[in-house]
């Protein structure tokens, strides 16, 4: 990869990785890991998401997002958002961006038009869609905020210490708690805490593979696999240095290792 790979996303055939200190993204063929191309984006890209056609990248130091054609890597557009955009998600129609420095979320149309900017908790760093609402991890507030499609706050719920990322498993929202070495499982319909489970050291990224939850352990150079039904730890696997984010491609799990400038590929089952 390039320098300091952080965000990772799957487009149905390829893996996309943001290279934070290179101001670029790398596209890999998921079947082989071969590099297809590396493309320039904005300043200090972190979060990344696929909308079914294009790739969206949150440029943390640029206060904007870049839209790339997934087929070619060509820049479609760059659009202003809030201060310190960290994470990005797609709800099936629109793009949502968590702005860490001003505790807001920006909603963009597919054309990059700002549809609204909405307050959430302190220092939002993660965002995920549950099929109806958006969930935001507020790393500075030890909470998660649930937003309706119109940006209205549905609720704000406690999580562990320094919640950074989220994933939805079809029923529950999972939150990585970097400061408490755990993940919290919330019932999406109510926000109620179902359980909190220990993982490795400084958990950051989280993803769902259809059966299990995968969590990167930033200080542990590993990923932990949990059974989504119970939270039981099934295994912990070594990866590269300071694994940041994780994605599932339908068969394998991919991990962006920010301090070793690499990605790791692990069979999910």
List the domains of the chain with CATH numbers.
5-267 (2.130.10.10)
pLDDT computed for residue 15 by the predictor: 98
pLDDT computed for residue 156 by the predictor: 97
pLDDT computed for residue 119 by the predictor: 98
Beta carbons of 58 and 68 less than 8 angstroms apart: no
The rounded distance, in Å, linking the Cα atoms of 231 and 213 is 8
pLDDT computed for residue 187 by the predictor: 98
pLDDT computed for residue 263 by the predictor: 98
Digitized pLDDT (tens) for each residue of the chain, 269 residues in all:
999 999 999 999 999 999 999 999 999 999 999 999 999 999 999 999 999 999 999 999 999 999 999 999 999 999 999 999 999 999 999 999 999 999 999 999 999 999 999 999 999 999 999 999 999 999 999 999 999 999 999 999 999 999 999 999 999 999 999 999 999 999 999 999 999 999 999 999 999 999 999 999 999 999 999 999 999 999 999 999 999 999 999 999 999 999 999 999 999 99
Pick the closest to residue 221 from 254, 251, 243, 189 (CA basis): 243
pLDDT computed for residue 231 by the predictor: 97
pTM for the model = 0.97
Strands (E), 5-123: 5-10, 14-19, 24-29, 35-40, 45-50, 54-59, 64-69, 75-80, 85-90, 95-99, 104-108, 114-119
pLDDT computed for residue 266 by the predictor: 98
The rounded distance, in Å, linking the Cα atoms of 12 and 243 is 22
The rounded distance, in Å, linking the Cα atoms of 220 and 228 is 21
Beta carbons of 207 and 167 less than 8 angstroms apart: yes
Structure tokens at 184: 């919290």
DSSP state letter for 103: T
pLDDT computed for residue 146 by the predictor: 98
């Amino acid at each position: 990869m390039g320098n300091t790979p952080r965000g990772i996303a799957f487009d149905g055939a390829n893996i996309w990785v943001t290279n934070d200190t290179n101001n670029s993204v790398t596209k890999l063929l998921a079947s082989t890991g071969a590099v297809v191309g590396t493309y320039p984006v904005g300043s200090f890209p972190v979060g990344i998401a696929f909308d079914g056609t294009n790739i969206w990248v949150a440029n943390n130091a640029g206060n904007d997002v870049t839209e790339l054609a997934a087929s070619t890597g060509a820049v479609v557009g760059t659009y202003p958002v809030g201060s310190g955009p960290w994470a990005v998600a797609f709800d099936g129609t629109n793009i949502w961006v968590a702005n860490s420095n001003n505790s807001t979320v920006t909603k963009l149309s597919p054309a990059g038009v700002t549809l609204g900017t909405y307050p959430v908790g302190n220092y939002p760093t993660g965002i995920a869609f549950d099929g109806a609402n958006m969930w935001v991890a507020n790393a500075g507030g030890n909470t998660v905020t649930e937003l309706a499609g119109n940006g209205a706050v549905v609720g704000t719920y406690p999580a562990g210490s320094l919640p950074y990322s989220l994933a939805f498993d079809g029923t529950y929202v999972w939150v990585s708690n970097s400061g408490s070495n755990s993940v919290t499982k919330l019932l999406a319909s109510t926000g109620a805490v179902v359980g909190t489970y220990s993982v490795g050291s400084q958990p950051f990224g989280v993803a769902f593979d259809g059966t299990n939850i995968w969590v990167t352990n930033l200080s542990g150079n590993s990923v932990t696999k949990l059974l989504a039904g119970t939270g039981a730890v099934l295994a912990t696997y070594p990866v590269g240095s300071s694994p940041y984010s994780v994605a599932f491609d339908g068969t394998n799990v991919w991990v962006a290792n920010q301090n070793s400038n690499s990605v790791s590929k692990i069979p999910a089952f």
